[in-house]
Amino acid sequence: MPSGADGGRTAWARNLAAPIRRFLHAETGGAIVLVGATLVALLWANSPWSDSYASVWGMRLAISLGDHAIATDLRGWVNEGLMTLFFLVVGLEAKRELDLGELRERRRLTVPVMAGLGGMVAAAAVYLAINAGGDGAAGWGAAVSTDTALALGALALLTHGRAIRLRVFLLTVVVIDDLVALAVIAIAYSDAIDPVALAVAVGFFAVLLALRYAGSWRGPAAAAAGVGMWLALFESGIDPVITGLLVGLVSTAYPPSRDDLERSTERARSFREQPTPELAYQARASLTSAISLNERLQYRLLPWTSQVIVPLFALANAGVHFDGDLLSGAAASRVTIGIVAAYVVGKPLGITGAAWIATRRAMGGQRPTVTWPVLVGGAAAAGIGFTVSLLVASLAFTGPTLDEAKIGVLVTALASPAVSWVAFAIVRHLPDELRARQLGAVAGQIVDLADDVDPGRDHIRGPVDAPVTLIEYGDFECPYCAAAEPVIARLLEAFGAELRYVWRHLPLTDVHPNAQLAAEAAEAAARQGAFWEMHDRLLAHQDDLAVSDLYRHAAALELDLERFSDDLGRRRTAPRVAEDVAGADASGVSGTPTFFVNGRRHQGVYDVDTLTREIKAAAGALRPVPPSR
């Protein structure tokens, strides 16, 4: 039996941690580190050693190869070099949502895309209304872009990491935001653009697109093309950080297929029998390719970007030397006031208003994926400017005006989360009737399950007509399936008439040699009305699944042994097991146990508390909406 931390996790979660929850945990920790780095920068810039702040980050560094050199200061290497990796992770996560998540249904893009554009337009309009005709008008680009790291981190902290659908909505908003903001930098804030270098960058991007269809060598080739694209953009005069976002958006995500996993197991077994360098390389390559490059890059880069690179960016850019003149000037500065008003007022209003317009019938009538009160709280969290804002401010302003702009950006990092906290506090105290009505207007979850439950075919525990269905794809020889049994029993007892449980077969024959025959034995018992009795016995005796053991289990259950032997010997139940396996493949299931709640795949831990929350959420979504008064 499994024990320890892995005892309550699905194979999917053990081998490939649920990307959404991993991202949430990284954002929460990263936001805390980011705040700490910002405080260090402010303390450093206002300490007796404040002169060293400017001298350290202004230090010139160059990489030379013959007569060619790339030179910028240390701050520039952070802003234009390391931050490319941050935008790469953002692009990777967005692409994963497009391929595997909520946004794989493309029409669901309408609301967040329009919300992202609306938020930027409204923020720019507010800033320009305050700075119209003044010298600060040129810095409007510093007031439009949401800081991805801080916004998602603040959301994770404010919602305790549970607002998964809101995070997906906000992630889409900030990706659109980042793409437009980087385009604004390229068009409005870049020096004279070198068309030849830009054409070379476009050529490298075309190579990246083509490499998606290449073989196992595409990883190194794609890395080389990405570096080439960055260098070309650097030489062109366009901020090269957009390279990361574009590379991420062309990196396809896909779940590990059962065929790939079985091939990996076979090659690992071959290496175990003949440990040669060639077989070691083949086994490693097979294991690696089973997981998409998108997921592998996220796994490697996310801790570095959230815990090191973004805080380093804050350390390099947030250091503002405060004095009485600067603070009094900022309090009256139209640049400072414009940035704060744009983010705290314009951004949330623009996101909410544009999302509302996108849901009108004239725009297709697409439902939002979150309730309107919750969306308002998320829109307020999007009013945090930092990374791109400081980047644009450093391009648009110099001297005291730049410091005033930085103060405005820092104020938004405090004010917007406070507004978001108030919004979520109000949501928590809304009447149950209003909250239920709001839930009724939300777009439903995308169903991941390929085959609906058929009471005439499927094995069901609990009321056949229960409103919530918990499906498990399992393997009788899998120790994690056995570990899940007490959890399932407690859930069935706790929810009573509200829950039905369905077992479907997925024997992992490459690692569990007795699993297929055990599944067929369970189906043979089902022919005699004893499926669940055999199911329980097989999971309780996982070390006794040989043919002779299966006959002994049948005898203990007082089955007709002659009939059981005939069904098992002639493999009459093998097609029934194969149907379940085909359904698992169609649903993207590759490991056991894998759970579905009302057709939606459950990711991560499967302890009682986690599954209870998910079942309650599914039951709540099905309750009738109270009529309007």
At 109, which CATH number?
A: 1.20.1530.10
Q: Is residue 251 part of a domain?
A: yes
Q: How far apart are CA 365 and CA 111, in angstroms?
A: 10
Phi, psi of 72 (to 5 degrees): -160, 175
Tell me how far apart the alpha carbons of residues 271 and 279 are, in angstroms, rounded to a whole number.
5
- Rounded to an integer, what distance in angstroms lies between the CA atom of residue 369 and that of residue 445? 8
Residue 328 lies in a domain: yes
Six-digit token string for 176: 């659109």
Q: Which residues lie closer than 8 Å to 187 by C-beta, 6 or more apart? A: none
Angle value at C-alpha 44, between 39 and 49, nearest 5 degrees: 170
Q: Residue 132 domain-assigned?
A: yes
Q: Which pLDDT value is given to residue 17? A: 38
Q: Can you say how many angstroms the Cα of residue 615 is from the centroid of all Cα atoms in its chain?
A: 22
204/550 Cα distance (integer angstroms): 60
Higher-scoring residue by pLDDT: 150, 423: 423
| DSSP 8-state assignment for residue 444 | P
pTM over 0.85, yes/no = no
- For residue 311, the Cα-to-chain-centroid distance in whole angstroms is 21
* Cβ-contact 154, 417 below 8 angstroms: yes
| 234 found inside a domain | no
576 neighbors 421 (Cβ within 8 angstroms): no
- Tell me how far apart the alpha carbons of residues 376 and 348 are, in angstroms, rounded to a whole number: 7
Q: Do 328 and 281 share a structural domain?
A: no
Which residue, among 440, 449, 491, 438, has the nearest Cα to 615 in the 3D structure?
491
pLDDT band at 12 (very low <50, low <70, confident <90, very high): very low
Q: Quick: pLDDT tens for 570-628.
A: 999 999 999 999 999 888 888 889 999 988 888 777 888 888 888 887 776 544 434 43
The Cα-based distances of 351 to 179, 375, 379, 573 in angstroms read: 16, 9, 6, 56
Residue 570's domain spans which residues? 459-622
Query: Cα separation of 2 and 447, whole Å?
Result: 30
The per-residue DSSP string of 554-598 comes to HHHTT--HHHHHHHHHTTTTHHHHHHHHHHHHHTT--SSSEEEET
Query: Are 482 and 531 within 8 A, CB to CB?
Result: no
The CATH number linked to 490 is 3.40.30.10
Ranges 23-37, 181-195, 482-496: which has the least confidence: 23-37
* CB-CB contact of 119 with 350 (8 Å): yes
Q: Do 269 and 387 reside in the same domain of the chain? A: no
Domain co-membership, 273 together with 395:
no
Both 170 and 37 in one domain: the answer is yes
Same domain (yes/no): 15, 151: yes
Per residue in 545-575, pLDDT tens? Answer: 999 999 999 999 999 999 999 999 999 999 9
Q: Look up residue 11 and give its two tokens.
A: 């194979």
Same domain, 273 and 344: no
Q: Render 276-288 in DSSP notation, one character per residue.
A: -HHHHHHHHHHHH
Residues 51 and 10 in one domain: yes
Q: Is the pLDDT of residue 369 over 80?
A: no
| Backbone Cα Rg of the chain | 28
Q: What angle do CA 545, 555, 523 make, to 5 degrees?
A: 60
Neighbouring CB atoms inside 10 A of 215's CB total 8
The residue among 377, 408, 440 that closes a domain is 440
pLDDT band at 206 (very low <50, low <70, confident <90, very high): very high
Looking at the fold, whether 301 and 370 belong to one and the same domain comes out as yes
Closest listed residue to residue 158, CA positions, set 333, 492, 384? 384
276 and 318 both lie in a single domain:
no
Cα–Cα distance for residue pair 593/481, rounded to 1 Å: 5
Q: In what order do the strands lie in the sheet with 499-505?
A: 459-461, 499-505, 468-474, 594-597, 600-601
The pLDDT assigned to 14 comes to: 36
Distance, in Å, from the CA atom of 110 to the CA atom of 155, rounded to the nearest integer, reads 22
Provide the pairing of β-strand 499-505 with 468-474.
Answer: parallel
Q: Which of 412, 440, 468 is the last residue of a domain?
A: 440
* pLDDT at residue 323, as a whole number: 78
**Domain presence at residue 602:** yes
One-character DSSP codes across 17-72: --HHHHHHHHHHHHHHHHHHHHHHHHHHHTSTTHHHHHHHHT-EEEEEETTEEEEE
Domain end call among 440, 469, 498: 440
Q: What is the pLDDT of residues 441-470, one digit of tens each?
A: 555 566 678 888 999 999 999 999 999 999
In a domain, 206, yes or no: no
Question: Are both 603 and 473 inside the same structural domain?
Answer: yes
* pLDDT of 166 higher than 70: yes
Two tokens, residue 352: 């909410």
In a domain, 384, yes or no: yes
- For 203, the enclosing helix (H) or strand (E) is helix 195-211
15 lies in some domain: yes
Q: How large a percentage of the chain has pLDDT more than 70?
A: 89
Q: Which amino acid is at 612?
A: T
Of 606 and 230, the one with more pLDDT: 230
pLDDT recorded at residue 19: 52
Q: Note the pLDDT tens digit of each residue in 128-142.
A: 999 988 888 888 988
| pLDDT for residue 507 is more than 90 | yes
Q: How many domains does the chain have?
A: 3
274 has pLDDT over 50: yes
Alpha-carbon distance values, 56 to 45, 46, 341 (Å): 11, 15, 33
CA atoms within 13 A on the CB side of 588: 17
Q: Is the pLDDT of residue 10 over 50?
A: no
Are 410 and 379 part of one and the same domain? yes
Residues 400 and 308 in one domain: yes
